[in-house]
Structure 1
Amino acid sequence: MFKIVLVQEWPFLTGTSPLIGLMAGYPSMQGGHGMAGSLAPVIESLGESSALTVGMAAATYGLIAGSLLGGPVGNWLLKKNGVKLEAATLESESIEELSQELKENKEDKITSQNVFIAGSIIFVILAIGMPTADWITSITGFSIPGHIFSLFLGIFFRSFNDKMQIVKLSDQSMDLISTVSLNMFLVMAMMKLKIWELYDLALPLTVILIVQTIVTVLIAMFIMFKVMGRNYDAAVLAAGFIGHGLGATPNGLVVMDAICQKYGVYSKKSFF
């Protein structure tokens, strides 16, 4: 919320338009390239032609900054506070559940059938989610990105399917599709960029990104770590907060995974 308030003040501090301040803020920094790309057409329809370029630039910076800063900050919190290298376990966790999870991971393989099933489910969810989002937008007047509504549908379907086991899904096949889709999206988005549009926005954009970086790191160090318990889980969460707050969800996961691998202690609460 504090970041959103700051973004609203950018025009007065840097002389840029509110739309540029928005694209260089929360949607791109925390939403990543996907959110920046989906929101850019809406912003461009309001008269800001450089929305996509600014959004992609901010998202790219966020990915790099979040990855570089999250790990060192988490490591500093652990050493500074003398935190014990132990993670709390979830109350529902048991040896049987962990053994079953490891067994399923070993059996999960990428096959043409698994990829076809995962891809078909994704297309069905998109076929329902995209038109529904457009319908809600036309009814309410609020612009809802199609992929956001599809994400909610995907969450509900995955939760329901894990409970009822209607369709057997392969996590590795889903990861493969996600990686290929993301790479294709980034290539297509980068091809549309008009880098020269950043010339006049270089200084204000730099100020906006640096201030957001400082604020995010301070929140993680002095609020997130303390509120979450000042323990190992809290340090991993704070590091992940930086990765996600500046970049996107994969950044947060990568940063947390790096810390857990370094100290050999897996923080299941943080990943949960």
Structure 2
Amino acid sequence: MSLDPLASLLAAVLVLLVGTLLNRRIGLLSRYNIPDPITGGLLFALLASIALSAAGLKLAIDQTLKPVLLLMFFAGVGMCADLRMLKRGGKALVIFLLVLFPYILVQNGVGIAVAKLLDQHPIFGLVGGSITLVGGHGTGAAYAERFAEVNNLQSVMELSMTVATMGLIVGGIIAGPVAQYLIKRHGLRSQAGDAATPEPAAETAAAKPPIATVGMVGALAGILSAVLAGQWLAARFADAPVTIPSFLWCMMLGVLIRNVLPFAGARFDDRASDLISSVCLSLFLVMTMMALNLVEVALSAGPFLLMIAAQAAVIVFYTVFVCFRFMGRDYEAAVSSAALIGFNMGSTATAMANMQAITARYGPAPQSYLIVPLAGAFFIDLMNAVVLTVTLPLIGG
């Protein structure tokens, strides 16, 4: 059974609502800030996988809207970036990148060590390292084709997709508890408005009127303009020496619209932009999770389960004792740490969903929302490419 785009969108909305309900009713999920799309999407994927294995029933979710939702999300992030409030982000971005680069080396070292322990080719260690965990499904697929042709490694494509999928799931599950631990352990609070404190939140709600229709329409116009222009620019500069992905174009144009048009008299309600981008991210992530076949993932994982477990343990240690400390040991550092787990184990979308879950409970983190998309969507891919280019010849890749 296949759903058309509109029916698939409705299914995603319903699954997201189920995930939200479960997170509010089950204390363990709420306590550790598991993102609503992860909860609902995993439940759907589990039930769909059981139905497929037991009765041969398959529900195909149309993915046509997914790319648009992701672009709208990043454009919305840009539309929320008031550079007057985020002028200190430059230093934090540099520090974040300095934290990220050595972790790519550590991640590949862990993967290669586990591969050797399991008597596997070292290349499989990179497949269980930054190729799929930092690079995601796209980078995993690209390298898998090369390994199949040049190194004659069997089933490397399926394994790459499996590891990338497992990383996506793990990255969405463990980040919340880690951030929860850091926030509680150090008594951290948001400096941009503490959502966990009833008195300031009540005063803020009383001071600001509800989001008006004109504010929502204006934010939507800005987001859609950034998406359309970002897609055009991505296609226009696709053959440039350094390729900028379309979602990064959309985010940068969102920043431009938000910070330039006010000089011409335009006014934007950041709450409306944040609401639109949050909805788009949640729907994108839940549709991704709904498309997973967990039975196939489990059957093809094999020894990579140990590799993922080792990677999860190492990234938790690195996040708590390196990332959090170097980023300043404050609330922004805790939020950025949750994001580091997200896009180093899954994707930038997972990182943003992790941050969304934390900030929805404890308050905004504007600096993290600026530096994390830039680091995860652009700089880390460049660093990963450099590391892999140097490492592959050393291990016979």
Shorter-chain TM-score range? 0.5 to 0.7
Report how far residue 65 of structure 1 moved. 0.5
- 2:172 aligned with 1:63, yes or no? yes
2:209 to 107, 112, 118: 107
Report how far residue 66 of structure 1 moved. 0.5
DSSP 3-state at the match of 2:129? helix
Q: Give the distance between the partners of 2:323 and 2:142, measured in 1 at CA.
A: 37
1:240 to 335, 341, 346: 335
**Would you say the 8 A contact 2:141–2:160 is kept in 1?**
yes
TM-score (norm 2): 0.47
User: 1:60 and 1:167, CA in 2 relative to 1: closer, same or farther beyond 3 A?
Assistant: farther
Q: Give the distance between the partners of 1:69 and 1:198, measured in 2 at CA.
A: 25
Q: Give the distance between the partners of 2:131 and 2:339, measured in 1 at CA.
A: 17
**Would you say the 8 A contact 1:115–1:173 is kept in 2?**
yes
Report how far residue 194 of structure 1 moved. 4.2
- 2:254 aligned with 1:147, yes or no? no
Percentage identity across paired residues of the two chains: 21
* 1:1-272 correspondence runs (5 A): 1-9=101-109, 10-11=111-112, 13-14=114-115, 15=120, 16=124, 18-19=126-127, 21-22=129-130, 24-27=132-135, 36=136, 40-41=137-138, 43-46=140-143, 47=145, 48=157, 54-78=163-187, 102=204, 106-111=208-213, 113-140=214-241, 142-161=242-261, 164=263, 166-195=265-294, 196-208=296-308, 210-224=309-323, 226-227=325-326, 234-247=329-342, 248-252=351-355, 254-255=357-358, 258=361
Q: Which runs of 5+ in 2 are unaligned?
A: 1-100, 146-156, 193-199, 343-350, 371-397
Aligned residues: 232
**Would you say the 8 A contact 1:216–1:242 is kept in 2?**
no
User: 1:158 and 1:50, CA in 2 relative to 1: closer, same or farther beyond 3 A?
Assistant: farther
Q: Give the distance between the partners of 2:232 and 2:278, measured in 1 at CA.
A: 25
**Would you say the 8 A contact 1:253–1:271 is kept in 2?**
no
Report how far residue 153 of structure 1 moved. 2.0
Letter in 1 for 2:208: K
User: 1:236 and 1:214, CA in 2 relative to 1: closer, same or farther beyond 3 A?
Assistant: farther
User: 1:269 and 1:43, CA in 2 relative to 1: closer, same or farther beyond 3 A?
Assistant: closer
User: 1:203 and 1:68, CA in 2 relative to 1: closer, same or farther beyond 3 A?
Assistant: farther
Q: Give the distance between the partners of 1:181 and 1:207, measured in 2 at CA.
A: 32
Q: Which runs of 5+ in 1 are unaligned?
A: 28-35, 79-84, 90-97
Q: Give the distance between the partners of 2:129 and 2:306, measured in 1 at CA.
A: 11
Report how far residue 64 of structure 1 moved. 1.5
Report how far residue 239 of structure 1 moved. 2.5
Q: Give the distance between the partners of 1:267 and 1:219, measured in 2 at CA.
A: 21
Q: Give the distance between the partners of 2:312 and 2:268, measured in 1 at CA.
A: 38
Letter in 1 for 2:299: Y
User: 1:238 and 1:175, CA in 2 relative to 1: closer, same or farther beyond 3 A?
Assistant: closer
**Would you say the 8 A contact 1:108–1:172 is kept in 2?**
no
Q: Higher mean Cα deviation, 125-134 or 218-227?
A: 218-227
**Would you say the 8 A contact 1:44–1:51 is kept in 2?**
yes
**Would you say the 8 A contact 2:219–2:272 is kept in 1?**
yes
User: 1:160 and 1:76, CA in 2 relative to 1: closer, same or farther beyond 3 A?
Assistant: same
User: 1:189 and 1:227, CA in 2 relative to 1: closer, same or farther beyond 3 A?
Assistant: closer
Deviations 1:115-168 (A, max 9, x none): 33222222221111123223333232x554311221122223323345x26432
User: 1:160 and 1:104, CA in 2 relative to 1: closer, same or farther beyond 3 A?
Assistant: farther
Q: Give the distance between the partners of 1:194 and 1:103, measured in 2 at CA.
A: 43
Letter in 2 for 1:151: M
**Would you say the 8 A contact 1:221–1:238 is kept in 2?**
no
Q: Give the distance between the partners of 1:115 and 1:88, measured in 2 at CA.
A: 26
TM-score (norm 1): 0.65
Q: Higher mean Cα deviation, 235-244 or 49-58?
A: 49-58
What is the CA RMSD across the aligned residues, in angstroms? 3.9
DSSP 3-state at the match of 2:331? helix
Q: Give the distance between the partners of 1:190 and 1:63, measured in 2 at CA.
A: 11
Report how far residue 253 of structure 1 moved. 5.3
User: 1:267 and 1:119, CA in 2 relative to 1: closer, same or farther beyond 3 A?
Assistant: closer
User: 1:185 and 1:51, CA in 2 relative to 1: closer, same or farther beyond 3 A?
Assistant: farther
